[in-house]
Structure 1
């Protein structure tokens, strides 16, 4: 997929042009049958209100508060007939400012001008070239990545984070899923410009980059295997050229205790090391245990950071640490953290579509440098979602996310996000 700012449509990358040209040359009416009949279209509208209060009225910017409306049009073709099927996807996105000011920007919803004010609107269009052979699919261009251990989907912005590169997903062997790819550039959620990849340094991760925090390529390979209905294991290797490499492994086990009851455990391990120009040296260990009983679910988790730095991840991206919260990832140098979480589905009370979860995590032992006491932080999240069941409002979803964060090494915050979204299939 190649993503282009609306004002720079002529700059479509060469790979997508070649794929589109070849496609138009060899497509026959017969080949077009599945290409057209299997195509899908979807329109998504997202209204997003963001409020982060830093609890510090004397600060240069004590609050980030913006309101924006987003539109996303996604068109996906089927594949042509033949041993190797060919397809094309189109993604168009736009965002519009509803409320903002120079003193409340940088929420991540809207691009910010040099003057400090938010843009009134922004947009981009992307085109994806894709190939399918048997049970394997290759996508080339700008990618909306699926959830992977080192690259979780960003749900905290108006639009998703986009990448430029190539991604292969294969399921040729039963119960085995393989992923292979290379990413060369990133387009952040509140931007229409691609930029070089980098590593997130964080405030207390002690990650030092020698020279520019830039890389030309992020390579990854790995997959997951279901040993049986209860046990699944995964392993992924990734490397951000000149910055860091990472090995990540996980093991999940689900035990059906009784009818409507289950016990799920998970172990996660990640080892990150320097790949040329950093001091990255981290071992991340996490364990999680969940018990489900009907509409209730209780979860406990523990996470620890070891060695000389905190956890390494792509700048601006999420990772699947067990204690990754709305604001904090509890992945600073030497940090140890625990979590308690409760989920409830109100369908059992006669309110289908309504669900909530609340969670609390506490982190300690953060390295604050010589002569300073151990860093401590905690976060409490409340997340309520309602999906309308009425046919008139079908596919309308309202989500409220609230977080409270307190720390002795960062600014305290109270944060609320209100998201109203609507998805409609076009055919």
Structure 2
């Protein structure tokens, strides 16, 4: 497990130093601490269906260990503490001709396939005053402009600082800066880049960036209505402004209509050609254990939607494989969910959806690009007995495209269990 030892030592000294400032109040620091170990057993199979595919399939199996520690805070006007996370991925099955699933770290010489194990140790110093918390170190932000990805064996992490404030009732404020990223199949931190999946039409003079600034406001007007604004700036690459609104309309007993509206404006910051307007709307009707969803997403401008490579995108049609965010793409989604708790089987859930995208601009003298994706998830969490809290999930996806992209069938099987240690 490679690690920048100077950064590690700096973090450790910072955390210990902060704690020592409030040594008389150390009791709350210990009393409110918690530790857990999450186990993930992950099988991934992606079968490329086109005859000219460079690799016929990706197929790997791995075991993940995620040890999390969160301290309490010392007493006083300013409370201090620290968090730690230890991540380890172990190869169970892979080969050079089946690698690349995102589960395992690859050798620098890709002909050798993947490494037997990889991981990360991260520390985060934190300070709390009133209802505001400042964290510096290893973080996994979940904000509209930067959504750390956790869809494989180990999560994506960032070197960052983030201030979160809840001092004003119903208002959540987040501000901060990311400096480097550790991807989900890596143990090395690196500068950030813009995603280039799909046909987004990006060109850039600035290939990487070591600075992403963000700020967001989310205000809950009532129990059913919330609005938000978010800003993101990947230095020398792009600027981004986002607004969103969610509203849940009670229709009758056991019935509701949820509206989720999102708009983003992205422009270049001198080192790229980013120029995009992204609009999305998702409407979900809940009826007992059933949920029926209908979504629409529209891209306009000179490029597709911009976001940091490896992260999730804050888009209604960002799904298991595709983001449906290529240049000029228009897409729609139909979705159905069912929670079997409604018929007396708690812990069992089902989801299926279909998305279709068209009008993709592939450049001069090329035909319009099209794509569709179908996803199905079935999950169960054991509710009682010696196997309580063990979760099993099967995720299936099919993707087909015209004039660009890859045709593929994908299956993921994940068995997970979180063990509270204290």
Asked whether the two chains share a fold, i.e. TM above 0.5, the reply is: yes
Task: Quote the offset at 1:7 in angstroms.
Answer: 4.5
Runs of 4+ in 1 over 6 A off after TM superposition: none
Alignment partner of 2:368 out of 374, 388, 395: 374
Secondary structure of 1:25 counterpart: helix
Alignment of 1:239 with 2:233, yes or no, is yes
Cα distance in 1 between the residues matched to 2:311 and 2:2: 26
Deviations 1:246-276 (A, max 9, x none): 0000011111111111111121000000001
Partner Cα separation in structure 2 for residue 84 and residue 188 of structure 1: 33
Alignment of 1:383-394 (within 5 A): 383-394=377-388
Q: Is the 8 A contact 1:128 1:140 kept in 2?
A: yes
Structure 1 residues 9 and 243: alpha-carbon distance in aligned structure 2, compared to 1, 3 A threshold: closer
Return the alpha-carbon distance in structure 1 between the equivalents of residues 189 and 239 of structure 2. Answer: 23
Pair 31,115 (structure 1): closer, same or farther in 2 beyond 3 Å: same
Q: Give 3-state SS (helix, strand or coil) of 2:135's partner.
A: strand
Contact 1:15 1:141 in 2 (8 A): no
Distance 2:353 2:384 in 1: 30
Q: Which residue of 1 aligns with 2:29?
A: 35
Match of 1:138 among 134, 138, 152: 134
Contact 2:161 2:178 in 1 (8 A): yes
Structure 1 residue 288: Cα displacement: 1.1
- Report the Cα distance in structure 1 between the residues aligned to 2:346 and 2:331, rounded to whole angstroms: 34
Tell me the CA shift for residue 65 of structure 1: 0.5
Offset at 1:57? 5.0
Question: Unaligned 5+ residue runs, structure 2?
Answer: none
Cross-structure match for 2:298? 304
Deviates more, 1:366-375 or 1:173-182: 366-375
Q: CA deviation at 1:152?
A: 2.6
Query: For residues 216-255 of structure 1, what are the structure 2 equivalents within 5 Å?
Result: 216-255=210-249
Residue number in structure 2 paired with 1:88: 82
For 2:58 and 2:346, how far apart are their aligned partners in 1?
34
Q: Report the counterpart of residue 123 of structure 2 in structure 1.
A: 127
Deviations 1:100-140 (A, max 9, x none): 00000010010111332100011221111000000011110
Contact 1:70 1:95 in 2 (8 A): yes
Q: Secondary structure at the match of 2:291?
A: strand
Conservation of the 8 A alpha-carbon contact between 1:197 and 1:314: yes
The equivalent of 1:23 in structure 2 is 18
Please point out which of 341, 345, 359 is paired with 1:351.
345
Alignment map for 1:173-184 (pairs within 5 Å) = 173-184=168-179
Shift of 1:379: 0.3
- Change over 3 Å in CA distance of 1:14–1:153 after alignment to 2: same
Q: Secondary structure at the match of 1:225?
A: strand
Uncovered stretches (5+) of structure 1, i.e. residues with no partner: 1-5
Farther off after superposition, 148-157 or 366-375? 148-157
Residues 150 and 156, structure 2, Cα contact 8 Å, conserved in 1:
no
Tell me how far apart the structure 2 counterparts of residues 393 and 255 of structure 1 sit (CA, whole Å).
38
Greater shift after overlay, 15-24 or 365-374? 15-24
CA-atom RMSD in angstroms: 1.3
CA distance in 1, matches of 2:351, 2:151: 16
Q: Paired residues, what number?
A: 419
Q: 1:90 to 1:57 in 2, by over 3 A?
A: same
SS of equivalent residue, structure 2 residue 155:
coil
Q: Deviations over 1:69-119 (max 9, x none)?
A: 000110110000010100011111101000000000010010111332100
Q: Is the aligned partner of 1:314 residue 2:308?
A: yes
Identify the residue that residue 406 of structure 2 maps to in structure 1. 411
Task: State the alpha-carbon separation in 1 of the partners of residues 146 and 280 from structure 2.
Answer: 17
CA distance in 1, matches of 2:356, 2:59: 26
